[in-house]
Amino acid sequence: MLGSTSLWDFKRVFLVTCSASINAEEFLKVLRYLKGNAMKLQVETSGRNSYILKKILEEGLADEVIMNVVGPATLYSQILGKAVDVEDIQKSMALVAQFPSYQYQTTVTPVIRQGGEAPVISYLTTAEIAETAQFIEEGTGSKKNPYLIRLFKPAESKNELLKSIEPLVSLFPYRTAARAYQVFTDLERT
């Protein structure tokens, strides 16, 4: 029983993501349709394809944007496993900060690093998270962006190699390091 609450009281919110393989114009048509039907839209992006984000901003097609900043500029391509235009990522950062509601977030993920004969797997370091926060500052021109640091959950990884890595115990050192560049850094509640 819902008591006096009616179904009309619930917000109609959609989380919308777009893979790189989707046609940008088709994606924008979907957003226009949803927005035209009074839906609240939250868009999540990795920052690639800033031109799509620019159209979304210009047309008012998102109420909130979350940008997953996967790591510092120096590791972006390595973490995503494909070449990335860092300037495009920075353009997206600047655009994200113009939405009515926005947030940047980074998952402290394991990185497969080349070390000697065999690759070494280690989490992003506190220094690399500080570099990530600085990357956001450089992209937006501000130290006052909402920035969330998230915990990587090895058991949920699709990569079999990463399922066996020990989970991190605490994110507090990461938050401390990030706050030098993003003063509103917070930790994901688990």
- The structural domains of the chain, ordered by start, are 12-187 (3.20.20.70)
Q: What is the pLDDT of residue 15?
A: 53
Does residue 103 surpass a pLDDT of 80?
Answer: yes
- Average pLDDT in the 81-91 region? 93
Q: Which residue's structure tokens are 């917000």? A: 11
Does residue 123 surpass a pLDDT of 70?
Answer: yes
| Alpha carbon distance 184, 30 (integer Å) | 33
Dihedral of the alpha carbons of 171, 178, 87, 21, in degrees to the nearest 10: 20
The one-letter amino acid at 15 = L
Q: What is the pLDDT of residue 17?
A: 56
Does residue 51 surpass a pLDDT of 70?
Answer: yes
